[in-house]
Structure 1
Amino acid sequence: MMKKIVLSVVTMMTFAFGYAETTPSHRMGIDRQPVNYDMSFNVHRLAAKLDLNENQMETVEVIQNCFNNEVQEAATSKGFERRHLIHQAVRKDVDRMHRVLNDEQFNTYMMLLVTTLHNKGLM
């Protein structure tokens, strides 16, 4: 009798978790806004905002393409692994950008990055 009850509970939980994973809400942020993993943007607008020179602009474009690709790869993972991969991608992006930008540019970039991550539901 007890074995049947335990198996029934396990079966119900399996179905419940399976259903929860297939609903769109598993891709929702904490405030239930859809999560957007596309981190591509207009590099020319960023260059104008940060007052980048040509060398910086080329380097920033490469860094941002890498960052967007890493976030897109993270989007294919699930749960904690996804959060971990996004966190790693952000840390790599910040380290790379810190090497290219001066302090004033970097502070502005960090403000834009945090705002973007928050708006896209990744933070």
Structure 2
Amino acid sequence: MKKMIMMVVAMLSMTMTSFAENENADLTLNTEVYDMTVNLRKLAVALDMTSDQMESVGDIHRMFCAEMMMAAHANKDERTVLMDKAIKKDLRYMRYVLDQKQYHKYLMLLNTTLQNRGLK
């Protein structure tokens, strides 16, 4: 009887460990999906930006990445709201810095990135 109880306790502890590992894996995967860092030099080449635009876009993008990481760590209910706010804010600032052709291309790149990561 004592051996049976010990075996059940051991099985329960292994199951609980497995659940904890899955939760940590989900959090890590979730954080990776919301990591929006890009190579700013490649983005500058793709959008044909000037040096002033590169500096401004770099500042805007760092702020966007920080807001997306905050969304990643938020509750499930708040996550989509925070993500939408971050995207709208990023697009509003980018529209101010980029010209119409650059903005259109940036919008296309951002939408593709969000779709590939399963966020839209």
TM-score when normalising by structure 1: 0.73
- Provide the C-alpha distance between the structure 2 equivalents of 1:119 and 1:87, rounded to a whole number of angstroms: 17
- Provide the C-alpha distance between the structure 2 equivalents of 1:51 and 1:75, rounded to a whole number of angstroms: 31
- Provide the C-alpha distance between the structure 1 equivalents of 2:49 and 2:39, rounded to a whole number of angstroms: 14
8 Å CA contact 1:35–1:121 kept in 2: the answer is no
8 Å CA contact 1:70–1:86 kept in 2: the answer is yes
Comparing both chains, which one has the higher relative contact order based on Cα–Cα distances under 8 Å and sequence gaps of 6 or more? 1
Using the aligned pairs only, state the percent identity.
37
The answer to whether the aligner puts 1:83 opposite 2:86 as a matched pair is no
Cα distance per residue 1:81-110 (max 9 Å; x no partner): 001000000000000000000000000000
One-letter amino acid of the counterpart of residue 98, structure 2: L
2:61 to 64, 67, 74: 64
TM-score when normalising by structure 2: 0.74
Aligned to 2:93: 96
Q: Which has the larger radius of gyration?
A: 2
More helix, by proportion: 2
Moved more, 71-80 or 37-46: 71-80
One-letter amino acid of the counterpart of residue 67, structure 1: F
| Equivalences, count | 100
- Provide the C-alpha distance between the structure 2 equivalents of 1:72 and 1:51, rounded to a whole number of angstroms: 28
Q: List runs of 5+ in structure 1 lacking aligned partners.
A: 1-18
- Provide the C-alpha distance between the structure 2 equivalents of 1:110 and 1:77, rounded to a whole number of angstroms: 25
